[in-house]
Amino acid sequence: MNEPSYERLPSPRLRQLLEPGGLLMPLLEKRRHKGIDLEAHLRRGNEVHLYCGLTCLAKCAPSRPGRVWVKSHRTYAEQECARRLIRPEKATLVDRDNYWRDVWSVDEPGFKGALDRFLDGVDVGPAQMKEGAIQSRWARVSAPWIVFDKEAALSYPSIPERARQLSEAFRPAVEEARSKLRALALSRRSLTERLLHWSMPPEPKSRLKLDALAVDPEGKLVLLEIKDASGSQAEVYYAPFQLLQNVWEWHRALPAVRGSVQELLDARVELGLTPGGVPRIAGGIRAAVGFGEDERSEPVRQRYVEVLGIVNALLPPGVSSIETWILEGGQPVRLW
C-alpha cells in the first residue's frame, strides 16, 4: 500500500476519444509551433496534455457522459486565438483561478477548427522556448533511445510517506555526494576569489521530476535530464548530482512501477504517439544528461566533469556511469 506509483494509463473512454473520429483525436496530429514539435502526453487523472516545449498549452479529459472538458492557463486562454476553443461565455475559472475551462459535447461540431485556430495563433514566450526546443529535438531521436514521456514524477500515498521514502532512498549515497560537493565548492571558492564562485549544491527537494523517460534497445529505462548548456552555470555543472537523486528514487521504485510504465508505453504505441516495435522495459536503469549544442564555457565544463566524477562513484548497484550527450546537427553525440 505504501509503494510509489506511476499511473498515466488512459481509460477506455479516453482512448476512444483519441482514436480516429473521436473529439480529441486532433490533439494527436503532428504540428509545429515556431519550429518546436507539439507533443501530446498522457497524464494521471485520465488526462491528455498538449505541450509546446516546456509549457502545456491545453489539458483535456472526459467529463460527464458525453462531455469533455478542455482547459488552458490564463496566459494562453485569454489570448484572442483561444476564444473559440475556450469560449468566454461558457468558460469558468478553475484551479485557484489560474485556468479557464470549457466543456464540449463529444458530438459538438467545431472543436478541431477551434483547436487549429488556437494552436496557429498562440503566443508562447521565449522563456519557454529555448530549453523547450532542446527537449523537442531529443524527443525526435530514435537512437540511442526513444523518449516516451516527459515531466516524469512518481506518486506516493501521502506527502509524509513521500518524504520518508525519499529520505531512505537518498541515504547514504546522495547525502555523501552532497557533502563531498559542498567541500569541493568551498575549497574552490578560496582559489577563485576573483572569478565566479562555485555555487553550493542544491538542497534536497520534497518532490522530484525528470525531464524525460525513454527506453533503449536493450529494454533499459532511461532517465534523461535535459539542459540548455548556455543556461544557469550552476544548473549545468550540478546536472549529474540532480540526476543522481532521480536515479536513486527510480532505482528503489522500479520494481513497483515497471508494470504501469510499460502499460503507458503500450498505450502510446497503440495511439501512434510512440513508434511500434520499441523494446519492452525489461532491463534496469540507464541515466544520461542531454544538452543541445555544447555551449558550456571551459570552466563550467571542468566543474561538470568534477561533479560527474563524485556522482558516478555513488550510483546504485548495477547502474552504469551517467552518460553525457550533445546534439550536433540534430544527431546525438556522446561525450562521456
Q: Which of 90, 125, 160 is the last residue of a domain?
A: 125
- The reported pLDDT for the residue numbered 192 is 52
Q: Which of 125, 145, 161 is the last residue of a domain?
A: 125
- The reported pLDDT for the residue numbered 195 is 52
- The reported pLDDT for the residue numbered 127 is 66
Distance CA(135)–CA(209), nearest Å, equals 14
Residues 104 and 241 in one domain: no
Number of other CB atoms surrounding residue 227 within 10 Å: 24
Amino acid type, 47: E
- Could you say which DSSP state residue 64 is in? S
CA dihedral 294, 295, 300, 301 (to 10 degrees): 30
Q: What is the mean pLDDT of each run of 10 residues along the chain (336 residues)?
A: 90 94 94 87 95 92 93 96 95 92 94 96 79 84 94 93 90 92 84 66 86 96 92 91 95 95 96 93 95 88 95 95 92 91
Residues 211 and 66 in one domain: no
What's the distance, CA 91 to chain centroid?
Answer: 29
Cβ pair 181, 198 in contact under 8 A: no
Residues 240 and 203 in one domain: yes
The residue among 159, 270, 264, 277 whose CA lies nearest residue 213 is: 264
- Nine-digit cell at 44? 494521471
- The reported pLDDT for the residue numbered 108 is 92
Residues 175 and 313 in one domain: yes
Q: Which of 78, 101, 125 is the last residue of a domain?
A: 125
Cβ pair 229, 292 in contact under 8 A: yes
Residues 319 and 288 in one domain: yes
- Domain carrying residue 116: 12-52+54-125
Asked if residue 265 belongs to a domain, the reply is: yes
255-267 b/e (C-beta count within 10 Å ≥ 16 → b): eebeeebbebbeb
| pTM of the full structure | 0.90
> Could you give phi then psi for residue 41, rounded to 5 degrees?
-130, 140
Query: How many domains would you assign to the chain?
Result: 2
Residues 311 and 184 in one domain: yes
Residues 60 and 146 in one domain: no
